[in-house]
């Protein structure tokens, strides 16, 4: 009896550990990565570009839908991040630590805007009312709409800050991005 109780207890303990570790995984939040020159900028610089750096970001969603008895169930997955193999910096354009910090801060802004795309895309796509007849079209159109908005925001960010060289405009954008990011804090 002692041996059976011991096996039962170990099995129960294992099940509880698996349950709590799964719960933690499901509850984890995704936060934007903090970039640095060495880790996130691996590509060769574009010699023809007038810019000192470029941060390539990605946003991806996927889903698996099942329909049974006209009931629709959709499992979504969302991801976003920096693509180091497509991001680059021109080291010769960085004259000192101050310039390096300013440029890296500007590039970090692109990462933050991409994070906002991830979060808003997830919210808008997850929280729609879908039917078996409309879900494919509606998911795609919503993803396109959200993506277009944030791509436009990325372009405005670069235009208004003059790619980070207008420090006053950069400061305004830093404040705006921070306030938008605060909406998604734990």
Judged against a pLDDT cut of 80, whether residue 16 lies above it is answered with no
Q: 141-186: per-residue pLDDT in tens?
A: 999 999 999 999 999 999 999 999 999 999 999 999 999 999 987 5
pLDDT tens digits for 62-103? 999 999 998 999 999 999 999 999 999 999 999 999 999 999
Give the pLDDT of residue 32.
87
- pLDDT tens-digit profile of 49-68? 999 999 999 999 999 999 99
- Give residue-wise pLDDT tens across range 87-143: 999 999 999 999 999 999 999 999 999 999 999 999 999 999 999 999 999 999 999
Measured distance between the N- and C-terminal CA atoms of the chain, rounded to whole angstroms: 47
pTM of the model: 0.82
Per-residue model confidence as pLDDT tens digits over 19-39: 333 333 333 455 789 999 999
CA distances from 143 to 33, 63, 155 (A): 22, 12, 18
pLDDT at res. 17:
38
Q: What is the mean pLDDT of the chain?
A: 87
- Please give the pLDDT value at position 28: 41
């Amino acid at each position: 009896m002692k041996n059976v109780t011991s096996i039962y207890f170990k099995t129960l303990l294992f099940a509880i550990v698996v349950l709590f570790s799964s719960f933690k995984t499901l509850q984890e939040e995704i936060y934007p990565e903090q970039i640095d020159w060495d880790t996130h900028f691996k590509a060769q610089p574009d010699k023809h570009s007038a810019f000192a750096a470029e941060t390539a970001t990605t946003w991806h969603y996927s889903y698996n839908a099942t329909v049974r008895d006209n009931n629709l169930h959709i499992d979504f997955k969302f991801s976003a991040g920096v693509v180091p193999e497509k991001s680059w910096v021109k080291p010769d354009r960085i004259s000192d630590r101050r310039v390096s910090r300013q440029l890296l801060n500007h590039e970090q802004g692109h990462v933050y805007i991409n994070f906002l795309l991830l979060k808003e895309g997830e919210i808008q796509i997850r929280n729609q009312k879908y039917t078996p007849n409309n879900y494919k079209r509606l998911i795609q159109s919503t993803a396109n709409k959200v993506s277009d908005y944030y791509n436009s925001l990325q372009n405005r960010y670069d235009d208004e800050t003059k790619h980070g060289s207008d420090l006053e405009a950069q400061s305004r954008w830093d404040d705006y991005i921070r306030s938008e990011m605060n909406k998604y804090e734990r």
